[in-house]
Amino acid sequence: MAQGVKLRIEEYVPMGTFLKASFVRDRTELATRFSEFTAEYEEEFTTQLEKVDQLEQSLKLTNEQKKVTQSLYEQADALNNELNFLSFYFKRAALDTSNLSQLKKDLRVKNIEGACYKMEGFVQYVSENEEVLVEKGMKTGFADTLRIVKQDLAAKNASQNEIMDIKKQLYEDNTREYRKLYTYITTIVSAGKIMYASVNKLDEYTLTRLISRMRVLKGEEAVTV
């Protein structure tokens, strides 16, 4: 994989699926310069993709677990939006916004553990400055509201971590199969980038572009695991 590009465990199959569509379409043309791309190679790639997909399908997450994940991310987004108002109050009160900015960044990238850790001291800071913040528009007792939200986020994050541990174990138990799929992906991408360096197909063989496409599509759908 390209240096600096990291594929998440849950992205191997979507990545392979996106790439397979392009490869099946272009394989014959690619084979004129990369002779290993035979019909048998295509079949082996497809078989490996299906094998990893079946491994992940064997991981049956309950609807409750999926709802926890969706609720966690929705709550993080809602809190991040609410903190925009608090940021306004901070600036009006001439208070330091650096910790608030860092907290918002963690929420934006879904670093829930980091956000919960930062909220410990941040909530105390809000409480200590409640009087001046209320004068600028903050609701009285907002620090208590933040404490409740923080506890809820922490609880949901614990459930999310359990899910991620299950995924991690699945990967560790089947590392050979994931690595084999990874090899197909990187080989095809490397060849495609050379073959189509000057045409509009290049994005289809660029890992960063494929990853961005996957994550944008995921963001447009309800968050699932």
Over residues 129-139, the pLDDT tens digits come to 999 999 999 99
Query: What is the per-residue pLDDT for 211?
Result: 86
Query: What is the per-residue pLDDT for 171?
Result: 82
Instruction: Quickly state the pLDDT bin for 60 (edges 50, 70, 90).
Output: low
- pLDDT surpassing 70 at residue 188: yes
- Pick the range with the lowest mean pLDDT from 49-53, 119-123, 170-174, 192-196: 170-174
Instruction: Quickly state the pLDDT bin for 20 (edges 50, 70, 90).
Output: very high
CA–CA distances in Å: residue 152 to residues 92, 116, 127, 149, 195: 29, 10, 19, 5, 51
Q: What is the SS3 assignment for 120?
A: helix
Residues listed for the chain = 225
Query: What is the per-residue pLDDT for 223?
Result: 36
Number of helices (H), then strands (E), in the chain: 9, 0
- pLDDT surpassing 70 at residue 46: yes
CA distance 32 to 36: 10
- pLDDT surpassing 80 at residue 107: yes
Determine if the pTM surpasses 0.85.
Answer: no
Residue 90 vs residue 54, higher pLDDT: 90
CA–CA distances in Å: residue 218 to residues 43, 188, 211, 222: 28, 24, 11, 8
Q: What is the SS3 assignment for 7?
A: coil
Beta-carbon contacts of residue 121 (< 8 Å; ≥ 6 apart): 99
CA distance 40 to 52: 19
Model confidence over 164-185: pLDDT tens digits?
787 778 888 889 999 999 999 9
Model confidence over 131-164: pLDDT tens digits?
999 999 999 999 999 999 999 999 989 987 887 7
CA distance 24 to 79: 44
- pLDDT surpassing 80 at residue 62: no
pLDDT > 90 fraction of the chain, expressed in percent and rounded? 66
Beta-carbon contacts of residue 77 (< 8 Å; ≥ 6 apart): 107
Whether 30 contacts 200, CB under 8 Å: no
- pLDDT surpassing 80 at residue 66: no
What residue ranges do the domains of the chain occupy?
Answer: 9-60+174-220, 63-164
Instruction: Quickly state the pLDDT bin for 2 (edges 50, 70, 90).
Output: very low
- pLDDT surpassing 60 at residue 98: yes
